[in-house]
Amino acid sequence: MTSVDVNNRVKEKTLSTVSRLSLQQVSKGFKSGNTNLTALENINLEVKPGEFVCLVGPSGCGKSTILNLVSGLEHADSGKVLVNGQAVVAPGPDRLFLFQEPALFPWLNVISNIEFGLKSIGVPKSERRERAMKYLTMVHLQKFADFRVHQLSGGMRQRVAIARALAIDPEVLLMDEPFTALDAQTRDILHQELQQLWAATGKTIIFVTHNVREAVTLGDRVIIFTYRPGRIKREFSTTHLSRPRHIEDQAALSLVREITAELRSEVQLAVAAEYGEAYEDEQIAV
Amino acid sequence: MSVTLETLSKSKPQSIASQLFSLKLAKAIGFALLKIVAFGLGVAIVWEVIYLLMVEVFHVWIAALFPAPVDVIISLIDHATDGTLLRATSASLFRLFIGFGLSLPLGVFSGLGLARSRWFKRVVGPIVLGFQALPSVCWLPLSILWFGLNERAIIFVVVMGSVFSITIATYDSTKLIPPLLLRAASNMGVRGWALFWRVVLPASLPAILSGARQGWSFAWRSLLGGELLTAGVGLGNLLNQGRDLTDMSLVMAIMLVIIVLGLAFDQLVLTRLEHAVQRSYGLSRS
């Protein structure tokens, strides 16, 4: 892939004022046993077209719930979830999930897995193979087209999942900790490639992670959530950092530290809620 | 990447079809026959020892009720050479394959129906469980009244004997599908019957094949039950003939034939198919 002048693209994108994705005063609760828990409270979030937004927060802060709301798998108790100004009603291939597990179909080979998505959105048979191959090449797996899923490594499988999603050409990619299950080297490589793919395709991405470094490496914006009820605590812009970024970049370090400090008290709350008195008198180093 | 292209190319899988119809099959049949012969020889030796002790030495039993293995083999050869055995076997296998061939699609589709529709499950589910608890031979009186004393009556019993176990196995297998696969498919816009054809059915295939093996053995039992209680050419009829003539050698010879045929189809066709599917799905390492 040629080096795309990403920073220019970001500037272009920020010129657009129409928000592709908008959460307005969104609240969402769920039942846990007999108690009602508020997962999200009064969330206001605007995501611009082509923006890469990372959501970071302790476990249980409801950041994955935001993805579910945008996808239409769950519905808000109050408030609006809008995509291009339209309220989200049901799941659709314009908002595609990427999960921690690649969720590929083991009875299909690699190329057929990508074609599966194309068939789903009604791409005629004659065009499927070529289009699937194009996206498989984008993730550098063109030699593996005829392989079975179980013959690939974890990183390769996640690449196939990314290719399958991109081939469908969604407006928004909802990534729920997609690299968490991978080894560190593979994850680093995929960080680079995801930035290139994002630059090349201009997709809007909402990316949920626990890893602050990952969030700063990938996102235009990093949004910190409070522990239950999940509220937006603070937002950090990363657009001053040049792309492509690497997870070990020195320039990002101070921002990473600042975000981690902001997050610490929330993580302590989460840990205290989870383990109770066992942690009462101890200082938790995060 | 931990997996190189070279190592993967070597393990590139053959298609299921080529795995089934290859030189390997001939080898497998040879090996299976060898195992059967070795096992049969062992059984024959133990049998001969018991025969010698109980009949020849202590005179506890009489030879007409407990034949020597040699007598059984002679009886087998006699009936094989005069054509009786071939006629009976082909008549029985004809009923069996028609019955099992009907049960398999019926069972798979009713199992999928149970999984697909709550209404269908509520109405048909208890019926399936009830009929599965009913020994299939119990259908014979009804079957004879409905169809007359002919092939169809027995085939009906065979179907009733095997269809419900296949239904239950299919239904159970749909509950074992990883929810993430269904979620990924529905996210790509695959719903309703398309979800069934493209995801649920292929995802259930390995477990359906296990259910088919079980259905096969139920079909075999039902067939013999039906044939024993009716007249007409068949293995069950030969068993009756042996009883009427107090020809225990014939009875045991036919029992041997039934064991070998049932085992052969299970091992050489169904189990091989099951393993081929498991390998291609990455479910086994063999």
Cβ atoms B98, B152 nearer than 8 A:
no
A:B CB pairs within 8 Å: 76
Q: pLDDT, tens digit, for every residue of B123-155?
A: 888 999 899 889 999 999 999 999 988 889 999
Tell me which chain B residues have a C-beta less than 8 angstroms from the C-beta of A101: 180
Tell me which chain B residues have a C-beta less than 8 angstroms from the C-beta of A107: 202-203, 205, 280-281
Helices within chain A (DSSP H only): 6-15, 63-71, 110-120, 125-138, 154-167, 184-201, 212-218, 253-275
pLDDT at B19: 59
Classify the C-alpha dihedral A134-A137-A141-A145 as positive or negative: positive
* Burial class of B176 by CB neighbour count within 10 A (0 to 12, 13 to 18, 19+): exposed
In angstroms and rounded to an integer, the radius of gyration of the C-alpha atoms of chain A is 19
**% chain B with pLDDT above 90:** 56
Domain assignments of chain B as residue spans, ordered by start: 90-281
| CATH architecture under which domain A1-43+54-94+174-253 falls | 3-Layer(aba) Sandwich (3.40)
Task: Tell me what the pLDDT averaged over chain B comes to.
Answer: 88
CATH of B90-281, one of 1.10.3720.10, 3.40.50.12780, 3.40.50.1860, 1.10.10.10: 1.10.3720.10
Q: Which of A127-141, B6-20, B164-178 has the lowest mean pLDDT?
A: B6-20
B189 contacts A107? CB cut-off 8 A: no
Tokens 């529905």 belong to which residue?
Answer: B186
Partner-chain residue, chosen from A103, A108, A151, that has the shortest CB–CB distance to B11: A151
Confidence of residue A278 (pLDDT cuts 50, 70, 90): low
pLDDT at A60: 74
Domain assignments of chain A as residue spans, ordered by start: 1-43+54-94+174-253, 102-169
**% chain A with pLDDT above 70:** 90
What is the rounded average pLDDT of the residues A142-166?
A: 93
A148 contacts B282? CB cut-off 8 A: yes
What is the rounded average pLDDT of the residues A198-214?
A: 92
**Strands of the sheet with A52-56, listed across from one edge:** A95-98, A172-176, A204-209, A52-56, A221-225, A232-237
Q: Which of A148, A159, A168, A174 would best serve as a mutation to test chain B binding (most B beta carbons within 10 A)?
A: A148
Confidence of residue B3 (pLDDT cuts 50, 70, 90): very low
CA-CA-CA-CA dihedral for A149, A151, A152, A157, to nearest 10: 20
pLDDT at A38: 83
Q: pLDDT, tens digit, for every residue of A41-88?
A: 888 999 999 999 999 988 877 888 999 999 988 898 999 999 888 888
pLDDT at A45: 92
ipTM field: 0.83
pLDDT at A31: 80
| Of residues A279 and A199, more confidently modeled | A199
Instruction: Kindly state the tokens that stand for A82.
Output: 């809008």
A147 contacts B184? CB cut-off 8 A: no
Tokens 């009244």 belong to which residue?
Answer: B145
Tell me which chain B residues have a C-beta less than 8 angstroms from the C-beta of A150: 281-282
Cβ atoms B257, B80 nearer than 8 A:
no
pLDDT at A84: 86
Q: Which of B7-16, B28-37, B179-188 has the lowest mean pLDDT?
A: B7-16
Q: Are strands A95-98 and A172-176 parallel, antiparallel or unpaired?
A: parallel
Residue B177 distance to chain A (closest CA, Å): 11
* Cβ neighbours around B91 below 10 Å, total: 19
H or E, element range at A234: strand A232-237
What is the rounded average pLDDT of the residues B171-184?
A: 92
Residue B274 has pLDDT above 70, yes or no: yes
Tell me which chain A residues have a C-beta less than 8 angstroms from the C-beta of B3: 151-153, 156
A10 CA to centre of own chain: 18
B184 contacts A103? CB cut-off 8 A: yes
Confidence of residue A283 (pLDDT cuts 50, 70, 90): low
Confidence of residue B285 (pLDDT cuts 50, 70, 90): low
pLDDT at B18: 64
How far is Cα B222 from Cα B237, in angstroms, rounded to an integer?
A: 14
Most confident of A53-67, A160-174, B12-26: A160-174
pLDDT at A282: 54
